[in-house]
Structure 1
Amino acid sequence: MTLTRLLVLRNRLLLTCWPLTLIGLCCTLSTYEQTYPTAGQRRTAVELAQLNPGSTLLYGRLPDPGAAAQMFAWEIGAFVTILAAVMAVLTAVAVTRAAEDDGSLELLRGCGVTVLRPLYSALTILTGAAVLLTAGCAVAITVTAGQSDGVSVSGTVMFAAVVGVTFLTVSAVTVLAAQVAPSAGQARLWGFGALGVAFAVRAVADTQQVGWLNWVSPLGLRAVVEPFTVDRWTALLPGLLTVLVLVVLAVLVAARREFGAGLLRRRDARNGRLRVHGMVGLQARLARPSLLVWTVTVAAIGTLFAAMGSGAVEQQRDGEVGGFLGAQLGTGDPAAGYLAYRGTVIGIVVSVFAILSVLAARHAEDTGLTGQVLATGVRRWAPMAAQAAVAAAGCAVVLAVTGVITAVITPMFLDGDDIAARSLAYALGQWPTAAAMIGCATLLIGALPRLAALAWLPLAASSLLALLGDLLGVPDRIQDLGFFQHVPDIAGVDRPVGPLLWLAAAGTLLVLAGSAGAARRDLRAG
């Protein structure tokens, strides 16, 4: 078996689930033709979208005349490119520094594998994933578009190429970061940090009409190429050239750095004693830095959505917004609909933090920390249970801080009844969802650690149902199976809390089952 095949086999779930999700999103083009069956309805929706600063911030600028294909590239294109960038960060770290840090590449190096061979294999995998994404998106649009207005062969190819080049660019940035960063975790953090900067640059370019900034952001490539509008294929060349330069730099750095370390020295080791009391205290102390970062990040996202919600709410009150945002606002009170939508976005981000926090237990087991802790006489179920408890407490802290901040800021921008109380409730109400995500991840890592990557499946499925369920015409009974959108409107007449109690109870039972499973298996074994 070659090294490339081995890396593909080890990361087969990551390399399969993410592309299928992105390709599936590309099958939604025909729904835009069905949502706006007449030219007048489409014209109204396009005008509302072009005048809404919130929509521009999230998706970019919608070009005229707003054909179904253009609206697809505007809305779904934003989701697909962002998710492709997230996949790029996770995949690039998984096939480079993560494989190096867990010791598997060290064994292969002992068998005569050359210094740069692992990096070449990783680059081969990333290039293959980009080709798969490009081909898959193009085929999905071609097969499902039907007679949708504005669809063309060149536009389809350009849209798919934008997804592939975006993936490649973010992958190249992350691969270079993996050669410089002192650990895989730090490389992953830098990759997501670069992604956040890219989104901010793209948002500034579109909201402030500074178009040239889109040329320096991977997420701005869609606005530069303009698939289904201009199909500017020459705009792909700077991105491909950037990828080439970054890859050359990564190879030069990889040839000169020490194996298992980056160019920057680790600074997380200290000579002083770490005073902790029990397993929960140890896990809380280890999780404190990431908790601070995620609290600031989620609070910033909540504040951003609070500041840009007034335009969408007012437009929904005056007329039908339609499309993705219209589906999220619903048919009731637009203010409540927008706050529920913002709560869903916050819940998705917090769920990512929850799953990553539980996955840290697997990393601690792989690095030997769990074995050292168990050598002190700690019960075998305690590390897993403590990790889940700290993750749940961390989610509560993040949601509480975000809820309080948004409750103060939202009434400044949004008019309506009980805006502050609703804003706080829609944020805090995401905790049972996070608890259920923690339970699913704990069960997999505790009982079946080889399937730990499947911990992301409930989040992906629930997010798709919550964000695109109405737009795709998914029946309500199927949407209700998702973990999100169960928070009741505290100012409404009907305020059912049963689904939230079920989510919290399910999360608790799954944590107990996962902790029991961890006590009945060997370390680093399924």
Structure 2
Amino acid sequence: MSFTRLLIRRHRATLSAWLLVLTGLCGGTVSSYQNTYATEQQRRTAVALAQEDRVSTLLYGRLPDPGNAAQMFTWELGAILSILTAVMAVLVTVAVTRAAEDDGTIELVRGCGVAHRRPLHSALALLTGVALVLGVGCGAAVGLGGGHVEGVTWAGAIVFGATTAATFLVVSALTAVLAQVAATAGQARMLGLTAVGASFAVRAFGDAGQLDALSRLSPLGLRAAAEPFSADRWWAVGLAVLAGVALAALAQLLSDRREFGAGLVRRRDSRDSRLRLRTPVGLATRIGRSSLLAWTVAVAAVGALLSSMGAGTVRQSQTGDLGGFLGSQLGTGDPAAAYLAYCNTVVGILVCAYAVLSVLAAQHNERGGLTDLVLAVGVRRWAPLAAQTLVTAAGCAVILVVTGTLSALIAPMVIDGNQVAVRAFSYAVGQWPAAVATAGCATLLTGVSARLAGLAWVPFAASTLFALLGNLLGIPHRIQDLGFLRHVPDVAGPNPRAEALLVLVALGLVLSFLGAVATTRRDIATD
């Protein structure tokens, strides 16, 4: 069996899940844009408002004229798809490159006589194949699902699919380069996700400042450069592919100049100072404090940015038919409260992602042998995972309190409404039960089996889908309510009810307890 086939076999479940989700997202949403606006006048009003709104430009870029249904789809859902594609590219690339190296797979294969360059070549071949499948799937889904949608053509659908594939290819190649620099797979993953965040910031700054040249430097700006269903610029896709090839060549060059199992940046495995810890909670806190600081700064910045740019969206919701994705999020209630609820739903998604990653650190510690060392000093079997979950819940609270406080200071300055500061803070802090429930799911799966820990992303992905696209896709509300997000009540409303939040906290506690107990009934997993 070739190494490429081995990688496909090992990661087939993850790859299939990502491809099905992204392809289904394209095919399931394109037709809804035809029915979003009842009349042509409503569509024109919504397009004009969207083109003037700073938040919409920041999140999705600039909407081209005339703003037909196909262009609205590319503008809104295309932006979300680009981010998801970039995140997928980072996670998959690290999994088939540095993670395979760190867990000993590549060392075992090279011990069988495989050339030292072959593993990276096989990984790049796999990533290229995934990009092709993703591009064909998304393009076909849009073309078939948008047969009666205004502005959808097969030529535009093909460019849309090619743009998605090129975005995946560029981010994958960039991550492969970063994987050669980083000392471990975890650091490579963090660098890759940081690069995605920087790409979004560059794209957003370029679109907000009408700096097209700057926006096109970002992999997430390729969609605006190619303009599917508008200009259909193939040259933009071609340049992106060339950039991906150049980055892949650079990754190979760097790979030849580093030691196996190490990165170009040296790893510090020891310190002169003594680590004074007495409990598993203290150890988990010490290990995770730098990650918590980074997430706190990033999430607080996102929350503050969304709050500071909400004036135009609130006015649009008050005076016109906002429509589309953002309109489905704000609904028909108080515009200020609805906008703050939407902003903090985004914050809640980020914090839930932190919760999953933080709990999964227990799995990495177990496979890396750290848990064995902790248990060897007399710590109870359930304590390391329970400590990690407790630290995760506390970390989520810290992130949300800081974000809520900053939003409460900024939002009243730009958004007109009743008790804006109170709502901004309560909607942010109210995301904590969702984070606790998400952490509980991750704890249960990790406790039952370290191999099942990756499934913790399933409830997170489902909750995110229900929160962001539930109304747009017409998912019944009783199904949407099964998600962990969008349950925070309006504390300034006439009848705020917190029963759903209490249920989420109770669910998280029960799942965490069961997960901790499950660790006492299985062997410790090691690589």
Residue 89 of structure 1 corresponds to 90
Say whether 1:484 aligns with 2:485.
yes
1:211-360 correspondence runs (5 A): 211-267=212-268, 269-360=270-361
Alignment match, 1:199: 200
Per-residue deviation, residues 372-411 of structure 1 (Å, max 9, x unmatched): 1111111111111111111111101111111111111111
**How many angstroms apart in 2 are the aligned matches of 1:36 and 1:317?**
17
What CA distance in whole angstroms lies between the structure 1 residues aligned with 2:2 and 2:59? 42
Amino acid at match of 1:103: G
Letter in 1 for 2:292: L
CA drift at 1:525: 7.1
Cα distance, 1:268 vs. partner? 5.3
Residue 428 of structure 1 aligns with which residue?
A: 429
Quote the residue 2:130 is aligned against. 129
Structure 1 Cα separation of the partners of residues 390 and 370 of structure 2: 18
Which residue pairs with 1:438 in the alignment?
439
Indicate the residue corresponding to 1:19 in structure 2. 19
Q: Name the counterpart of 2:189.
A: 188
Q: TM-score, normalised by structure 1?
A: 0.98
Q: Distance in 1 between matches of 2:510 and 2:10?
A: 30
In structure 1, C-alpha distance between the alignment counterparts of 2:166 and 2:111, rounded to whole Å: 35
CA shift for structure 1 position 11: 2.2
CA RMSD of aligned residues (A): 1.2
Counterpart-to-counterpart distance in 2, 1:21 and 1:232 = 26
2:57 corresponds to 1:66 = no
Deviations 1:331-363 (A, max 9, x none): 110000001101110000001110000111111
Which residue does 2:166 correspond to in 1? 165
Query: Partner letter of residue 167 of structure 1?
Result: F
- Kept in 2, the 8 Å contact 1:166–1:219? The answer is yes
Q: Distance in 1 between matches of 2:275 and 2:104?
A: 27
**Distance in 2 of aligned mates of 1:421 and 1:470:** 26
User: Which AA in structure 2 matches 1:522?
Assistant: D
TM-score (norm 2): 0.98
- Secondary structure in 1 matching 2:262: coil
Amino acid aligned to 1:19: L
Counterpart residue number, 1:2: 2
Residue 319 (structure 1) shift: 1.5
CA contact (8 A) 2:397 2:432 kept: yes
1:200 Cα deviation from its structure 2 partner: 1.1
Q: Is the 2:19–2:134 Cα contact (8 Å) retained in structure 1?
A: yes
Q: Does residue 365 of the first structure (1) align with residue 361 of the second (2)? A: no
In structure 2, C-alpha distance between the alignment counterparts of 1:351 and 1:432, rounded to whole Å:
10
In the alignment, the residues of structure 1 paired with residue 315 and residue 280 of structure 2 have an alpha-carbon distance, to the nearest angstrom, of 50
Partner amino acid, structure 2, of 1:500: L
Task: Report the alpha carbon displacement of residue 194 of structure 1 after superposing the two structures with TM.
Answer: 1.2
Distance in 2 (CA, whole Å) between partners of 1:119 and 1:168 is 15
1:469 aligned partner = 470
| Alpha carbons 2:352, 2:435 under 8 Å: kept | yes
Residues of 2 paired with 1:10 and 1:429: CA distance?
39
SS of 2:473 mapped into structure 1: coil
The aligned residue for residue 108 of structure 1 is 109
Q: Partners of 1:108 and 1:377 in 2: how far apart? A: 38
Contact 2:366 2:526 in 1 (8 A): no
Could you list the structure 1 runs, at least 4 aligned residues long, displaced by more than 4 angstroms after superposition.
Answer: none
Residue 280 (structure 1) shift: 0.3
Deviation (angstroms), 1:517: 1.2
In the alignment, the residues of structure 1 paired with residue 514 and residue 2 of structure 2 have an alpha-carbon distance, to the nearest angstrom, of: 38
Contact 1:102 1:367 in 2 (8 A): no
Q: Deviations over 1:29-81 (max 9, x none)?
A: 11010111321111111011011111011000101111100000000000001
Is there any run of 5+ residues in structure 1 with no aligned partner, and where? none
Matched to 1:403, the amino acid is G
Q: Deviations over 1:305-325 (max 9, x none)?
A: 011111000111111211111
Offset of residue 2 of structure 1? 2.6
- The offset of 1:236, in angstroms, is 1.2
- The alpha carbon displacement at 1:112 in A equals 2.1
Tell me which amino acid in the other structure corresponds to 2:26. C
Q: Secondary structure at the match of 2:472?
A: coil
2: CA distance, partners of 1:446 / 1:82: 31
Aligned residue type for 1:16: S
Q: Can you list the C-alpha shifts for 1:460-496, whole angstroms capped at 9, x where unaligned?
A: 1111111111111111111111110000000011211
- In structure 1, what residue type is equivalent to 2:158? V
Alignment pair present for 1:513 and 2:511 = no
1:230 aligned partner, one-letter code: A
Q: Which runs of 5+ in 2 are unaligned?
A: none
Q: State whether structure 2 residue 514 is matched by structure 1 residue 522.
A: no
